[in-house]
Chain A
Amino acid sequence: MLNYIIKRLVASIVTLWVIATATFFLMHAIPGGPFDTEKPLPPQIKANLEEKFGLNKPLSEQYMMYMKNLLKGDLGPSLKYEGRTVNDIIAYSFPTSAKLGIVTVICSLLLGTYLGVTAALNQGKWQDQLVMVIATLGVTVPSFVLATFLIYVFAVKLSLLPAIGFEGPEYYVMPVMALGGYSLSFIARLTRSSLLDVIRQDYIRTAKAKGLSRNTVIYKHALRNALIPIVTYLGPLTAGILTGSFVIEKIFGIPGLGREFVTGIYNRDYSMIMGLTVFDSFLLITFNFIVDILYAIIDPRIKLEA
């Protein structure tokens, strides 16, 4: 177990390093720089700025500098926001994205499995058909369409919910629905098909032959097996949602990380792009790691061996 964790840690660090390096050089390969504005800056000012952030040094030297700071967890100053570091910006906007993300993941996980189980246990009946319609819509309708639709209905027509901002529980409702629609539908479909597969297994027949009640058979014997594929999906899902969705944050005016990322790319804010990429990758790697451990807990056949 300890061996496994150490190996995973080493692999994670290597992965992070590869991602950081690739991003660094790709980013610099894109034409244009952070100080190319519509109205060109006077050459002297631009030179001073580049001097200040070390952009005039050879690329290899910049790379070494960046890596050295990265090792210390220092993501550097933002090139665009005066006097703010990338660490500050993440510390400010990540909690917002994370709060929204956690609520979304929990809601779509609970509701998704509930809908999936209901559909599977009523296979072919109206409950099943209803869930399948919802789930199909959920995976096909893009989140911005869903968001716009929700705003139109709940904010404009019914005036029930605030359309913009992120200040209290009522501000969560629509972003969570828009952000979680896809994963909820995906989880519902996955749970349904997985559970339908599991209840045909021999060990379910064994459980019934022991005289166990229907609920014990479903919730103790079947569901745990049926959830194994869902756990696999949980890692990328959580990381993806926690790091914020640009579209959703933009539409609902939520000051989250997703918004910063896109603004950073647009501005060629090198250190922001680097910092957020490294941070997102870090989250993804961490959650996949957690999921692998969860996986081994839920399925005893999985051995955590490198």
Chain B
Amino acid sequence: MERLLEIKNLKTSFFTHVGEVKAVRGVSFHLDKGEALGIVGESGSGKSITMMSVMRLLADNGKIVDGEIWFNGRDLVKLSENEMQKIRGNEIGMIFQDPMTSLNPVLTIGDQLTEPLLKHKKMPKDKAIERAIEMLRLVGIPSPEKRIKQYPHEFSGGMRQRVMIAMALINEPKLLIADEPTTALDVTIQAQILELMKELKQKINTSIILITHDLGVVADVCNRINVMYGGLIVETGRTTDIFYNPKHPYTWGRLRSVPNPKTLVKERLKPIDGQPPDLLKPPAGCPFAPRCDYAMRVCMTHMPPLFEVGEQHKAACWLNHPDAPKVEAPVGRRHV
């Protein structure tokens, strides 16, 4: 398969008056063309910042301190702002968590929707409007000819997220980054939006990176999953690996707090006790160790490497060391 994105040892920090916040602390992963990759982890684990680094849209105090981001044969870290502008909204589209605030309240949907076409494709205005209407129809917005003249406040949350998807995909980008696209929506709408993303992935032939704190959301859409914690990837594997044969205690904890994706029956949500690591002074050892029921002495002092535990399956946990005691995973859906 052809490689679309390859991130090597990405480190991103924010420089604040209290010190350097190490939000992403050495993340490496890849995405092939046509794949859908999930990034899962609790709030603050560095999911958004990883992808905002790819977009090169960090806040003014944020900086990529190390690493490479190879996209379609180019290292995005090295590109100028002008070159990045040609990639954003053209080769990479992005949608965000809150559709209620992600659209500009004073501009019409049509105005906002046609912007990527006018900017990147230099399309004449009337052609762009035609294309925008077509795109709105594709994302399932009824009477698009009328809706295109309206303003965001005239749309419901679900409809706005459809508009956001239309806008992100209007130039048929090679990659769509969706940062918690359903978190702010009702459960029934969530399912519709995920369904739409799956459908458009085929039609437009784009790859997807789906960020979420909810493992249930990725199960259905993604073929591979990165689990992030404390600015690091702690486990990565095919969706089946993560759900049926998880190898990191943090993943176990997350799986326990997910409703069963197949039956959608809400099991008892069991949050993991304790606090995430302080990114101003990240621990020397495994960032999850202080909250981990299985922590050993080595976990406190030495950062575990990503152990190969399967064909495409890796986990950064000392339990996977050949000399470690054998522990039975308390979860995993082997028997489902």
Enumerate chain A interface residues (CB-CB to B < 8 A).
201-203, 205-214, 216, 220-221, 224-225, 228, 298-301
Q: Which of B96, B104, B116 contacts A211 (CB 8 A)?
A: B116
Residue on B with the closest CB to A224? B106
Q: Which of B84, B94, B106 contacts A300 (CB 8 A)?
A: B106
B101 x A299 contact (CB < 8 A): no
Cα A203 to Cα B105 in complex, Å, equals 8
Contacts A211-B88, A211-B90; A225 near B119 (Cβ below 8 A): no
Q: Is the interface of B mostly helix, strand, loop or mixed?
A: mixed
22 contacting pairs across A/B (C-beta < 8 A) = A203-B103, A203-B104, A205-B102, A206-B96, A206-B102, A206-B103, A208-B57, A208-B88, A209-B94, A209-B96, A210-B88, A210-B89, A210-B119, A210-B167, A211-B85, A211-B89, A211-B119, A212-B115, A213-B85, A224-B107, A225-B105, A300-B151
- Beta-carbon nearest neighbor of A303 in chain B: B153
Q: Can you list the 8 inter-chain pairs with the closest CB atoms, starting with the nearest?
A: A210-B89, A211-B88, A211-B89, A202-B101, A300-B151, A203-B104, A209-B94, A202-B102
Residues of B close to A300: CB separation below 8 A: 105-106, 108, 151, 153
Chain B residues with CB under 8 Å of chain A are: 55, 57, 81, 84-90, 93-94, 96, 98, 101-108, 115-116, 119-120, 151, 153, 164, 167-168
Q: Which residues of B contact A203 (CB under 8 A)?
A: 101-105
With A208-B57, A211-B90 as contacts: A301 and B153 at CB distance below 8 Å: yes
Q: From B100, which residue of chain A is reached at the shortest CB distance?
A: A202
* Residues from chain A with Cβ under 8 Å of B88 in the complex: 208-211
* Beta-carbon nearest neighbor of A207 in chain B: B104
CA distance in complex: A210, B95 (Å)? 10
A208 to B98, CA, bound (A): 16
Residues on the B chain within 8 Å of A214, using CB = 81
**Who on chain A is nearest to B55 by CB?**
A209
With A225-B106, A300-B106, A301-B153 in contact, do A209 and B89 touch (Cβ < 8 Å)? yes
Question: A213 to B84, alpha carbons, bound, how many Å?
Answer: 10
* B106 and A299 within 8 A (CB): yes
Partner of B104, one of A206, A209, A213: A206
Q: Which residues of B contact A228 (CB under 8 A)?
A: 106
In the assembled complex, the CB of B264 is this many whole angstroms from the nearest CB of chain A, namely 29
SS class, residues of chain A in contact with chain B: helix
Chain A contacts of B108 at CB under 8 A? 300
Q: Is the pair A221, B86 in contact by a Cβ cutoff of 8 Å?
A: no
Are A201 and B119 in contact, CB atoms less than 8 angstroms apart? no
Residue on A nearest B56 in the bound complex, by CB: A208
* Docked complex Cα distance between A42 and B6 (Å): 103
**Residue in B57, B90, B105, B151 whose Cβ sees the most chain A Cβ within 10 Å:** B105
Q: Which residue of A lies closest to B108 (CB)?
A: A300
Given contacts A206-B96, A206-B164, contact A298 B106 (CB under 8 A): yes
In the assembled complex, which residues on chain B have CB atoms less than 8 Å from the CB atom of A211?
84-90, 116, 119-120
Residues of B within 8 A of A220 (CB): 107
CB neighbours of A221 from chain B (8 A) = 104, 107
CB distance from B17 to the nearest CB of A (A): 12
Given the complex of chains A and B, what is the CA–CA distance between A301 and B90 in angstroms? 30
Chain B residues lying within 8 Å of A299, measured Cβ to Cβ, are: 105-106
Q: Is the CB of B119 within 8 A of A212?
A: yes
Instruction: With CB as the reference atom, state the residue of chain A lying closest to B101.
Output: A202
Q: A202-B101, A205-B57 are in contact. List 8 more A-B contacts (CB 8 A).
A: A203-B104, A205-B102, A211-B85, A211-B86, A211-B88, A211-B89, A212-B85, A300-B153
A165 to B326, CA, bound (A): 96
Chain B residues near A210: list those with CB within 8 A.
Answer: 88-89, 115-116, 119, 167
Q: Which residues of A contact B93 (CB under 8 A)?
A: 209
Beta-carbon nearest neighbor of A124 in chain B: B60
CB closest chain-A residue, reference B151: A300
Most buried by A among B81, B93, B103, B107: B107
Interface-centre pick from A203, A212, A298 (highest chain B CB count, 10 A):
A203
Which single residue of chain A is at the shortest CB-CB distance from B52? A205
In angstroms, Cα B98 to Cα A205, docked, is: 12
Distance, CA A298 to CA B104, complexed state (A): 12
Tell which of B55, B89, B106 touches A212, judged by Cβ atoms closer than 8 Å.
B89
Bound together, the chains give a CA A207 to CA B94 distance in angstroms of 10
